Chain A
Amino acid sequence: MTRQTIIPFGPQHPVLPEPIQLKLVLEDKKVVGAIPSIGYIHRGLEKLAQQKDYIQSIFLIERICGICSFLHSMAYCQGIEEMMNVEVPPRANNLRIIWAEMHRIHSHLLWMGLLADSFGFESLFMEIWRCRETVLDIMEETAGGRVMLGVCTVGGVRRDIPPELIKKVLATCDELQAHFDHFIPSILNDYSVKQRTVGVGVLTKEVALERGVVGPVARASGVVMDHRVAKYGAYANFDVEPQIEQDGDCYARSKVRVRELYQSLDLVRQSVATLPEGEFNIPVKGNPDGEVISRVEQPRGEVLYYLRGNGSKFLDRMRVRTPTFANLPGLLAMIPGCELSDVPVIILSIDPCISCTER
């Protein structure tokens, strides 16, 4: 019988930006099993949200994640609005789409840079992150924050985007598209990138469905699932086609995210083109009562908020299931059979966000 060795992988690892922790079971250099350890950065945010009033919680909820923060607040506000029968002004819905899709772009670029870094392609990493700065700059100009925007609120958004900045948003979309056209061939066509990603960390469609994975991880395995299709908020006005690949490997997951970059640019442009005039928030009175489920498609996949109000300003329950939480069982199916050196690339290919997962 081959001798098995168990080695800890993370939570501190030079390649991984997130403190994911796995116990890898190895036979020589081949990984035959992986067991996740969770809790290293558990902060008790769900409990804390129940001790803040439902408006204060928006700022707390944005801090669940340092990457897709706006989408957390959007999902939460959407749920509270449903509970309180608040109809958000159409302009606010479009503005939310603009910021949500910008978040998707900056998140995918962040991931793409890290993937390049994980297999030592540092010039590509710097090129992609330089491009990401463009998105952060326009978010800062329009919202006042580069990642933590603090603009989403119950009843709409806190800030409008004035016409001169709308023009700048469109100019930024053009600039980003030119950047993408420049570096994306390096991701999709480069020999060394393909050597590290094609056929690595395969997740078949059957296993993806069985493990309940979401977002680009599911779509790269041929699962047609993108919650924007369910037409929440202003997505009701746009057709969003899920970006699907069939191979289920790290390369397929990269291709899905690459195509989603262009798709997000299109959605920002459509949202600007159809931006209605009028107010961007409405005053909200009363307190939430009842229970709702609110779902939003984040860059990593579907996030679910379960909110339970009791008629006071404090919630009985704020529960969040983040996409990485759903993707961890899928990750455990991708790793067995790979080489130890492929593990960082496979982990990065699900774009893990452990801050979200552990809350």
Chain B
Amino acid sequence: MITNIIPVTLDTLLSKVGEIFLQKYRLITISCTDLGEYIDVLYHFDKNYEITNLRLRLERGQEVPSISSIYFSAVIVENEIQDLFGVPVKGLVLDYGGKMMLAEASPKAPQANCPAAAPAE
């Protein structure tokens, strides 16, 4: 079971990621889960084979700040979250505008549980 989880908010996310970066953690990836009522975002970091997780709870439609200016390797997974879950990510260093994984005619936000998560046309 996951034990090492630090809760963060939209206001504290970037400062906490910055602290973790300075401690020389590696970003493994970001896992996004649409739980219906809210969206759960877990940032997984590794140091010496131990994982530290940051947990962010997002209300539907909330915009999340990108951590790609701190960890460049986040750029692909953040674009993926934007495409598949319809979560707007602000400040991406390389923004595919919701068209990285999906084509023009693809269903919008296919991994979102709630159709309302899909961005407006």
Contacts and interface: CB of A to CB of B under 8 A. Distances in A.
Instruction: Say whether A and B bind each other.
Output: yes
- 7 residue pairs, one from A and one from B, having the closest CB atoms: A321-B29, A212-B73, A39-B101, A230-B49, A306-B31, A317-B33, A319-B31
A28 to B, nearest CB: 25
Nearest to A319: B31
A57 B72 CA distance: 32
Interface residues of A, number: 35
A44 to B, nearest CB: 6
B94 to A, nearest CB: 7
A29 interface: no
A328 B76 contact: yes
Given A36-B76, A329-B73, A42 B101 contact: yes
B75 A326 contact: no
A316 B31 CA distance: 12
Contacts of B94: 35
A325 B76 contact: yes
A13 interface: no
Contacts, number: 76
A308 interface: yes
Interface of B: 1-2, 24, 26-29, 31-33, 35, 42, 44, 49, 51, 53, 71-73, 75-77, 80, 83, 94, 100-103, 110-111
Question: Which among B27, B53, B76 has the greatest number of chain A C-beta atoms within 10 A?
Answer: B76
B114 to A, nearest CB: 14
B2 A209 contact: no
Contacts of A229: 49
A35 to B, nearest CB: 7
A358 interface: yes
Given A308-B33, A326-B28, A326-B73, A38 B100 contact: yes
Contacts of A319: 29, 31-33
B44 A293 contact: yes
Contact of B100 (A39, A230, A291): A39
Nearest to A325: B76
A292 B53 CA distance: 12
B75 A329 contact: yes
A212 B71 contact: yes
Interface in A31-56: 35-39, 42, 44, 46-47
Contact of B26 (A38, A42, A209, A290): A209
Contacts of B27: 212
Contacts of A306: 31, 42, 44
Nearest to A35: B94
A38 B79 CA distance: 10
